């Protein structure tokens, strides 16, 4: 059985980041956008003007958590809000919305993490990046 593995390229990462950047700039939101491959390795990082430098590491960690566990980081945020504090000790998980896995042809090929504004806005930007790439 032959499985054709899809790999996220630098050009792909730039296209995703461009879609996310357009959403962020359209709303006047200064954010950091991080794109990682399927192993959680940083492919592309973009810090928009006036984005706080503290968001750099957060964006990367959101992307890494989203691909490591193959789910949006919002899952942990919701679980902790419901009182399931055990998720705070899950290695590599970050309980802040804004990290989304990138799925192509049912394959997890990478993830995007965004940080800099409210977490639901970070997620909106991340989703716009994915939508721009897969559409």
Q: What is the pLDDT of residues 112-122, one digit of tens each?
A: 999 999 999 99
Q: What is the pLDDT of residue 95?
A: 92
Question: Mapping DSSP to helix (H, G, I), strand (E, B) and coil, where does residue 85 land?
Answer: helix
- Of the chain, the percentage scoring pLDDT greater than 70 comes to 99
- State how far the Cα of 47 lies from the Cα of 31, in Å rounded to an integer: 6
**Confidence grade of residue 76 (pLDDT, cut at 50, 70, 90):** very high
Q: What is the pLDDT of residue 43?
A: 98
Q: What is the pLDDT of residue 87?
A: 87
Render pLDDT for 96-111 as a digit per residue (tens, 0 to 9).
999 999 999 999 999 9
Q: What is the pLDDT of residue 135?
A: 73
**DSSP structure class, residue 126:** H
Domains of the chain: 10-134 (3.30.450.150)
**Confidence grade of residue 2 (pLDDT, cut at 50, 70, 90):** low
Q: What value does the mean pLDDT take over residues 80-86? A: 92
User: Which residues, including other chains, have CB under 8 Å from residue 96's CB and lie 6 or more apart?
Assistant: 58, 62, 73, 76, 77, 115, 119, 122
- State how far the Cα of 45 lies from the Cα of 78, in Å rounded to an integer: 27
């Amino acid at each position: 059985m032959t499985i054709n593995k899809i790999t996220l390229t630098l050009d792909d990462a730039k296209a995703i980041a461009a879609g996310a950047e357009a959403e962020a700039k359209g709303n006047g939101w200064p954010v950091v956008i991080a794109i990682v491959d399927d192993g959680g390795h940083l492919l592309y990082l973009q810090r928009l003007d006036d984005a706080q430098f503290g968001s750099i590491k957060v964006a990367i960690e959101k992307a890494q958590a989203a691909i490591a566990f193959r789910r949006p980081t919002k899952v942990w945020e919701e679980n902790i809000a419901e009182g399931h504090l055990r998720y705070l000790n899950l290695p590599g998980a970050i309980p802040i919305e804004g990290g989304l896995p990138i799925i192509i042809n049912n394959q997890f090929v990478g993830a995007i993490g965004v940080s800099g504004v409210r977490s639901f806005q970070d997620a909106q930007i991340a989703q716009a990046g994915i939508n721009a790439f897969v559409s």
